[in-house]
């Protein structure tokens, strides 16, 4: 670590991991509610558990991105952060806002939360992933603006590299697209149309810039390959992401009342969306194979390679599986979507945040890498979580295929609930693998406390 102010990344990473634990806990609750329907009812109804599960995910990934940016930008710009103090204040505000929102979700019925936060003044609540009270959304915007101001000032006064350019473009894009969360027309079709500008243009748009920049940064550090080479790859990958992903938004415009030409355009462009992810896999392996040094942090290398492979599988392959409109006609809104969502989020975004944490945390704790024992534990965590996620995805895919068959394709279609009973076995299996994931997460977290100091 070359600059003192990079240390502000540390609380962000710790906060992210704490919320990660909360996310998985509530995931397990939901998973059990799929098969034991009245589990924890009426204290934690499914919708509440799901809000915590998804919102905690989004917030901890954002915290991870912010931590990554605070770590990377000073080092790349070769100067201290514009204002470390502002970064720390924003961390606590962000954490408090996230915590209060979760408390709000758990303590009072959602309708009450909507009422006391004045949702009727500017109704933005009650839409998937954007359930946060309007005031929380405004808080997110404020935190994001302060964060971007801080980083942009740092960027402007220092060296401008391709990595920071792409990272900042991604982060600015993230903030700008989030503004569409305040767009909530009464017209349901238009509501859904612009809702995807937040959701899709985040995860299949600007977030990919952030993902690419973080991966490129870590690969430069751990492989010692020329910056020039890595930056070219970075630009090629993100170009491919945006030229496929922008019109690829059309794969969400098949059945929500939008014109039917989207079925063609969405299918064509999203069919190409695996290409950038494939390029990313090639990129990660290529760079590691051409490494010019043996970095002592083997765990970080493993996470970086894992990101390449799992994002291709989750976002690329599982996305392609149901992106063509004739297939999507049957799979839209089934467990197939859930399967894709799980592996894509884990493979792309969870893993890239864990990659930068794996690389940066030892440095912030004053060592190039953790001890061998600690790294072995971390890699156990990697394999347990990754393999569990593969099986969670496979079981959900199995559930989805059966669901599609019984409820959609069959000439005598079953009702939704009757179908759910038929696929219960898959849900049990998924819950079991979810527990293994939790164990993997515990092992991973434990590696932080394992005598890291006797490092190489």
Partner 1 sequence: MSSDAIDMTEPDGRRHPPGDLAIWVFILAELAAFALLFILYGVVRAKHVELFNEMQLTLDRNAGALNTVLLITASWCVARAVAAIRKGADGASARWMACGILAGVGFLVVKGFEYSDKFDAGIGLDTNLFYMFYIALTFFHFMHVVLGLLILGFLLLKTLRGGYSADDHLGMETGASYWHMVDLVWIVLFPLVYVMR
Partner 2 sequence: MSASFSTSAARNIFFGGTVFFVLMFLALTYDTEQKLPQRDQRAQLANPAVAAGKRVWENNNCIGCHTLLGEGAYFAPELGNVYKRRGPDFIKAWIKSQPTGVPGRRQMPNFHLTDKELDDLVAFLKYASEINTANWPPNVEG
CB 265 within 8 A of CB 197: no
Which of partner 1, partner 2, none has residue 264 at its interface (CB below 5 to 8 Å by kind)? partner 1
**Site residues (CB under 8 A) for partner 2, limited to 145-184:** 162, 165
Binding residue for partner 2, selected from 20, 34, 217, 318, defined by CB under 8 A = 34
**Angle at CA 242, nearest 5°, toward 64 and 136?**
40
**Site residues (CB under 8 A) for partner 1, limited to 261-280:** 261, 264-265, 267-269, 271-272, 275
How far, in Å, CA of 74 to CA of 300, rounded? Answer: 20
Q: How far is the CB of 343 from partner 1 (least distance, A)?
A: 24
DSSP string, 264-324: HHHHHHHHTTHHHHHHHHHHHHHHHHT-SS--S-HHHHHHHHHHHHHHIIIIIIHHHHTTS
Provide the terminal-to-terminal Cα distance of the chain, rounded to the nearest Å. Answer: 16
Q: For partner 2, give the closer residue by CB, 243 or 364.
A: 243
**Site residues (CB under 8 A) for partner 1, limited to 233-252:** 235-236, 239-240, 243-244
How far, in Å, CA of 318 to CA of 273, rounded? Answer: 11
Rg (CA), the chain: 22
CB 326 within 8 A of CB 370: no
CB 242 within 8 A of CB 221: no
Q: For partner 2, give the closer residue by CB, 163 or 369.
A: 163
Q: For partner 2, give the closer residue by CB, 394 or 414.
A: 414
Using the rule CB under 8 A, is 226 a contact of partner 1?
no
- Residue 44's SS3 state is coil
Binding residue for partner 1, selected from 43, 186, 259, 411, defined by CB under 8 A = 259
Which of partner 2, partner 1, none has residue 416 at its interface (CB below 5 to 8 Å by kind)? partner 2
How far, in Å, CA of 183 to CA of 186, rounded? Answer: 10
Neighbours of 372 (CB within 10 A): 13
**Site residues (CB under 8 A) for partner 2, limited to 116-135:** 119-120, 123, 125-128, 131
Binding residue for partner 2, selected from 11, 295, 327, 337, defined by CB under 8 A = 337
CB 151 within 8 A of CB 73: yes
Which of partner 1, partner 2, none has residue 268 at its interface (CB below 5 to 8 Å by kind)? partner 1
Which of partner 2, partner 1, none has residue 45 at its interface (CB below 5 to 8 Å by kind)? partner 2
Stretch that binds partner 2, among 5-13, 88-96, 226-234, 308-316 (CB under 8 A): 226-234
Binding residue for partner 2, selected from 76, 231, 273, 431, defined by CB under 8 A = 231
Q: For partner 1, give the closer residue by CB, 147 or 269.
A: 269
Residue 295, both tokens:
């970095």
- The contact set with partner 1 (CB under 8 A) reads 232, 235-236, 239-240, 243-244, 259-261, 264-265, 267-269, 271-272, 275
């Amino acid at each position: 670590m070359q600059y003192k102010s990079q240390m502000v990344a540390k609380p962000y990473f710790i906060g992210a991991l704490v919320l990660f634990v909360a996310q998985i806990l509530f995931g397990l609750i939901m998973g059990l509610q799929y098969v034991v329907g009245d589990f924890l009812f009426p204290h934690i109804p499914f919708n509440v558990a799901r809000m915590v599960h998804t919102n905690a995910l989004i917030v901890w990934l954002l915290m991870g991105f912010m931590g990554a940016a605070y770590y990377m930008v000073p080092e790349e710009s070769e100067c201290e952060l514009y204002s470390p103090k502002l970064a720390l204040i924003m961390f606590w505000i962000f954490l408090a806002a996230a915590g209060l929102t979760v408390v709000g979700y758990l303590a009072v019925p959602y309708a009450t939360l909507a009422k006391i936060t004045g949702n009727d003044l500017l109704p933005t609540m009650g839409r998937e992933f954007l359930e946060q009270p309007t005031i929380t959304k405004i808080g997110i915007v404020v935190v994001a603006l302060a964060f971007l101001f801080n980083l942009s000032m740092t960027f402007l006064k220092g060296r401008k590299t391709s990595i920071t350019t792409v990272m900042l473009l991604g982060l600015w894009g993230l903030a700008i697209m989030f503004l569409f969360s305040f767009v909530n027309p009464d017209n349901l079709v238009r509501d859904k149309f612009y809702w995807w500008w937040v959701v899709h243009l985040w995860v299949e748009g600007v977030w990919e810039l952030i993902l690419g920049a973080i991966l490129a940064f870590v690969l430069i550090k751990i492989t010692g390959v020329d910056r020039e080479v890595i930056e070219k790859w970075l630009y090629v990958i993100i170009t491919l992401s945006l030229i496929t992903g922008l019109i690829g938004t059309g794969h969400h415009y098949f059945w929500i009342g939008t014109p039917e030409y989207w079925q063609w355009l969405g299918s064509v462009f999203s069919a190409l969306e695996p290409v950038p992810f494939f390029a990313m896999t090639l990129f990660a392996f290529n760079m590691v194979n051409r490494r010019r040094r043996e970095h002592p942090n083997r765990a970080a290398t493993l996470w970086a390679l894992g990101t390449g492979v799992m994002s291709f599988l989750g976002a690329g392959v599982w996305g392609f599986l149901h992106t063509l409109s004739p297939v999507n006609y049957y799979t839209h809104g089934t467990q197939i979507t859930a399967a894709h969502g799980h592996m894509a989020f884990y493979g792309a975004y969870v893993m890239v945040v864990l990659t930068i944490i794996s690389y940066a945390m030892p440095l912030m704790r004053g060592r190039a890498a953790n001890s061998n024992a600690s790294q072995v534990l971390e890699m156990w965590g990697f394999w347990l979580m990754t393999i569990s996620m593969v099986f969670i995805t496979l079981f959900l895919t199995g559930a989805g295929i059966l669901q599609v068959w019984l409820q959609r394709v069959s000439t005598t279609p079953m009702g939704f609930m009757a179908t759910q009973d038929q696929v219960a076995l898959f849900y049990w299996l998924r819950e079991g693998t979810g527990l293994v994931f939790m164990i993997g997460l515990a092992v991973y977290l434990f590696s932080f406390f394992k005598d890291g100091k006797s490092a190489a």
